[in-house]
Amino acid sequence: MNRRLTVAAALLAAITGSTWVHAQKGAFAPPRTPWGDPDLQGDFTNSDESLIPMERPEALAGKRLEDVTSSDLDKLIDERNAAREEADRQRWELRSPLHWFENIKPKNSRAWLVTDPPDGRIPPLTAEARARNVKRAEARKGRGEADSWEDRSLYDRCITRGIPGSMMPAIYGNSYRIVQGPGIVTIGYEMVNETRVIPLDARPHLPSGMRAYIGDARGHFDGPTLVVETTNFTDKTSYRGSSERLRLVERFTPMDATHVEWSVTFDDPATWARPWTFAMTLTKVGPEQAPFEYACHEGNYAMRNLLSVARAEEAAAKAR
């Protein structure tokens, strides 16, 4: 990077209280692949974005993301880490030592995730979405969470966390691998071991009758930014109650040599009153944090144990 630009960005961050990552946004020209596309390849993690609330906290009402200074953010991070450490100690100390977790003491890039609307709040649900949620709840009446394997989520069943779920922070499995070739990009997720294949050749989306758990993705470059539009979702992988009409637009924007901003826009008139967007920062990592094999189906003990415990509880209840 041009040294004068680097120094200027650092000075701007010091003056405005913005984080280094925010100061760099839009100022970085990434290297190019041999065929001329911006080179975004590498292993990334979102572990440092753990604990960031999706929406603006009530304690920050009236503030915009850009109003939050670095000192404000440092205080928020300390508060979040302290609360999380205490909660985890009470919840996990008898089963797992805290150092097993990948995202202990994350260094958050922002105060909350929703960037649009400007108030940092997810738009209200439509009447159609509310009715759909009531119908789903009615269909679940009388069933427990472990009556059958079909009552568990696709994540529990080692099938998928969906999109954008597979890229959201969790207690582990927060790594991704971006690989590029002429006319194509793939994103591999450590969690559930999924890989998205994203064509860049302007081919049309699949017919509306053909649907997939992680949708049908099409991509292109807008300057240095990889833009990915995904449609053709199923109702089995809805996000926050989204419908099959969801159109998801992701933008992967390189911010410097080691950070990419990932923003996600939800456009689903059957679910929300208007489109909305959230964003987080992905950090490039070395081999020590590269994706591990996620052999979930090689003895999914969690599923077996959930169902067997439910049957044992039922037997105990009958015996009383």
238-247, 291-300, 304-313: least confident range: 291-300
Q: What is the pLDDT of residue 292?
A: 87
Percent of the chain with pLDDT over 70: 87
Q: pTM of the prediction?
A: 0.85
Q: How confident is the model at residue 7 (pLDDT cuts 50, 70, 90)?
A: very low
How many other CB atoms sit within 10 Å of the CB of residue 178? Answer: 20
pLDDT of 95 > 80? The answer is no
What is the tens place of the pLDDT at every residue in 125-139?
A: 999 999 999 998 898
Dihedral pair phi/psi, residue 87, rounded to 5°: -65, -45
More confident residue, 238 or 86: 238
Task: Indicate if the pLDDT at residue 98 is higher than 90.
Answer: no
Among the listed ranges 46-60, 80-94, 155-169, which one has the minimum average pLDDT value?
A: 80-94
Query: Residue 142 — pLDDT band, cuts 50, 70, 90?
Result: confident
pLDDT in tens, 62-89: 999 999 999 989 999 888 888 877 776 6
Choose between 185 and 291: higher pLDDT.
185
Kind and range of the H or E run holding 69: none
Q: Where are the extended beta strands (E) located within the chain? A: 42-45, 114-116, 175-181, 184-189, 194-199, 216-222, 225-231, 247-254, 259-267, 276-284
Q: Using one digit for the tens of pLDDT, what is the confidence trace for 148-163?
A: 988 898 988 889 999 9
**Percentage, residues of the chain above pLDDT 90:** 61
**Mean pLDDT across the chain:** 87
| pLDDT at site 144 | 87
**Can you tell me the mean pLDDT for 15-43?**
71
The pLDDT of residue 89 is 65
CATH homologous superfamily of 31-48+113-319 equals Calycin beta-barrel core domain (2.40.128.20)
Question: What mean pLDDT do residues 141-153 have?
Answer: 88
Q: Could you state, in order of their start, the residue ranges of all structural domains in the chain?
A: 31-48+113-319
Integer angstrom CA distances of residue 159 from 5, 65, 124, 162, 221? 45, 35, 30, 9, 30
| Cβ contact 268:280 at 8 Å | no
What are the helix and strand counts (H, E) for the chain? 5, 10
* Site of tokens 């994706």: 291
* Mean pLDDT for the stretch of residues 281-306: 87
Q: Which residues contact 232 (CB under 8 A, 6 or more apart)?
A: 205, 206, 208, 210, 211, 212, 215, 216
pLDDT of residue 26 exceeding 70, the answer is no
